[in-house]
Amino acid sequence: MPRMHRLPRRLSFSDLYSDEEFCGELGRVMLAAGMLETELRSYLATSVSVRNADRCSLGGLARTTKDHNLLQDLHASLALLVKQRNSLAHRVHSILSGALYDELLPESDLIDSDVSLFTERAWQLARDFRSVAELVAKRGVLPEQSSRKGNRGMTPSQRMQRTHSHVTSRAGRAHGPRHAARR
């Protein structure tokens, strides 16, 4: 009797959701995107005055660097990273259900074994985020900032921590590690 082979079926959201490797890589993408957000906030805190930078999305931070002509050689990379992260984070279900088309994550002709395609894309995206975050961190000290007393030898994240450690709320209460005893 001939052996029956299982026919591949269309890739579904459940295939991705239940795949531990994909979910692990997706988590790495989100962590690396958060790292880039932190480095961009730190960089902007030492470069320009940005209103509510702590509430800006990754896309908003990337636009701010462009608006202020900062990190000019990274504008294309930042825009692409934002687009890829948004596709992966917000559109996967809609794409797989056929409700939305996205050129970065095509849904046509994908079968259940194509989970590896999404896993590889997530793996690469996490690496790209980390690489760009590290580039931004290296540029964190601008020439005019490096001579400022107290900023020498500090990483962008440390400068941001220092900058935000003495913020006072509208109610007059101090926030941050320096003022913890006053709360």
Looking at the domain assignment, is residue 57 inside a domain? yes
Would you say residue 154 lies in a domain?
A: yes
Are the C-beta atoms of 145 and 46 separated by less than 8 Å? yes
Decide if 153 is inside a domain: yes
Residue 119 corresponds to which tokens in the numbers above?
């896993």
**CA angle 104–107–110, rounded 5-degree value:** 120
Q: Which residues contact 24 (CB under 8 A, 6 or more apart)?
A: none
pLDDT digits (tens, 9 = 90+) for 92-111: 888 787 777 767 666 567 77
Residue 166's SS3 state is: coil
Task: Tell me whether residue 67 is in a domain.
Answer: yes
Amino acid letter, residue 88: L
Q: For residue 102, give both structure tokens.
A: 């996205």
Least confident of 42-56, 108-122, 158-172: 158-172
CA distance 127 to 33: 10
Structural element, H or E, at residue 22: helix 20-47
Residue 176 lies in a domain: yes
**pLDDT mean across residues, the chain:** 77
Let me know if residue 1 belongs to a domain.
Answer: no
Determine, yes or no, domain membership for 5.
no
Interatomic CA distance for residues 118 and 131, integer angstroms: 20
Is residue 2 one of the residues assigned to a domain? no
Task: Give residue 37's domain range.
Answer: 13-182
Range scoring the smallest mean pLDDT among 23-37, 48-62, 77-91: 48-62
Question: How do residues 135-160 score in pLDDT, each as one tens digit?
Answer: 999 987 544 444 444 444 555 455 44
Total structural domains within the chain: 1
Which residues sit opposite 173 in a β-bridge?
none
Render pLDDT for 123-134 as a digit per residue (tens, 0 to 9).
999 999 999 999
Nearest Cα to Cα of residue 123 among 58, 18, 27? 27
List Cβ neighbours of 107 (8 Å cut-off, separation of 6 or more).
11, 95, 96, 98, 101
